[in-house]
Structure 1
Amino acid sequence: MQPEIEKILGTLELLTQPSLCFDLPGHEDGGNFVPFAWDVSEWGKFNIRNLCLSNGWLKITDVDATFKEWQYLEYIKHFPDFNLSLEQQNFRENSIKKLFQFLENNLEYLESFILDYHSDRTYTKFPGFIIGRTKSGDWIGIAQTVYKETKIPENMISRSPQISINSENLEENTLNLIVKIQEIISELGTIHLSGDLGGGYLYTYEHKFVFTTAKTKELVFEKIIQASEILEVNQFYNFYPNANYLQDWYRDNNYQELSQRYDTINRFFRHTFEETFMYRFSFWTQEYIYVLGKTPGKNLVGLYLDSEFIYNP
């Protein structure tokens, strides 16, 4: 491990001991932030695709199987308030078939993948993603939006709005394809679902198809996961900007000690890094959060949280 990583990790080890708890709403088992480092000499360039690979989440799947899964609405049929008529289901099946045929005829390369996260409480399999390369070398990604249970208040993690990367200098051929893809996706519209997941756990979920474009495979991978709402990328500002929030949450004397510990970590991030970013992956109940800054050697170092929402009627 490189010396610059060891130095920062050593400080974070001290700051996170004893366990640095971080209790997201509804995560009854709690979670703890732990030090994390991405060593470019070992893992290569940091990007979302490489991070998913290193976690064992990224699984390549069959393109035909993914389109059939989309056609038969396998993901949203798990929701208790799913109530599309047979006519509506047939319309969507035909529209998705039209989308598939269009992509097959106009893209040189198609690939499907899923993000297979690790949880003992898997409620449903997440839908697959499709990415493809145009004849002019640009990339297009298509996916469905997914449901996530956990909402993180600004009073827990203060952060910027989502950071999105604009697609620049796309070729004319790609722009023409986008028009047709947008037309088909617009036909599908948005399915609004809301109700009770059981035991009084109310939910609201808007399901729709989304697409993104990029100049590289790695970038379209990141952008389509963001568009699906699994991934959130923000500039990180600080933990617990309002100490009163901690006091209301814990309602005992422990909040003062915890507030001081997070204040120290906030100062450390500001002193050590020019910018710090939050990468949040939400898999229904499971939350994986990275708060990372970049070193002069292009390594990333910071904190990592693995936490799970618990349904407990």
Structure 2
Amino acid sequence: MLKNEKILLTGATGTLGKMIACALAPYNELWGLARYSGSASLRVAQELGMRPVAIDLERPSFDQLPGDFTYLLHFAHTRRGADAFPESIQVNAVGPGLLMQHCRAVKAALIVSSSAVYTPPQDVWHPLNERDPTGGAFAPWAPTSPVSKVSLEATARLAAEAFGIRTTIARLNATYGSGRGMSGGGMPIADMEAVAKGEPVRTFADPYPHSPIHFDDMIDHIEPLLAAASVPATTVNWCGDEVVTQRQWCELAGSLSTRTPKLIVGHVPGAPCGNIADATLRRSITGPCKRQFTESFTALYAAFVSEQSATEPG
């Protein structure tokens, strides 16, 4: 765990940002960069122990931001519709590049990209490695995401070499952990809740394999990923060690809730039908993940049931 460092965390109001803050703020001087469009998000950041700084990466001004951070953790991103490609590239690629220029004195930067950059392989069971083709994917849930993440990686690689910033670019796979719904616990937990409530799960493919990674494993990986940073930038899949299909976790949710999962498949041309990442390089950096999917998912289901019981009237 990082300690006694001055860290800048972007995307501080997002699910992953708040999770990172909970782990790092007690031991470090943690600054949280976000737009802070409402007083509630500002208050949450302060309660988590961050020093909030309001910056919009679409139109960034760093006049109020120190330049003496020891580490940069960049999690911020925007997901927009098909009418906002220029704005998305500005937020997801140009803004972070300017931020890296401002923070060029850091010991290292962790720039979070996505496995959405990969061109979907013909074989959905092919574990995508860091040298596989990128740029050919379509994400119906966020049309601007793949191209803006590819742009982010190019910008980060340029900034690493232009400013001498040791950098790791981490391509994040499906995440899951404590939290509620798609915006809280990640895709597996959103599906778990839907199955438990007897609601259908809409998907682009079946069985739809992933390499999900637990929030707590992500915390464990931050320091070694920063230690692996280099110039030119290190690019690595940030994923779990197990392959789990969406159908498998829905069926597990069904067995736990005694409900039959209902998957409704609506494939969209160009959308990926699989999301398996090769974890070989990541394991060489971080070691194996400590959380096993079935055990962790079962514990998260128990927490969900407990929370539901606590909120029921009477």
Using structure 1 for the length normalisation, give the TM-score. Answer: 0.24
Between structure 1 and structure 2, the one with the greater Rg is 1
Q: Which has the higher strand share?
A: 1
- Report which structure shows greater RCO (CA 8 Å, sep ≥6): 1
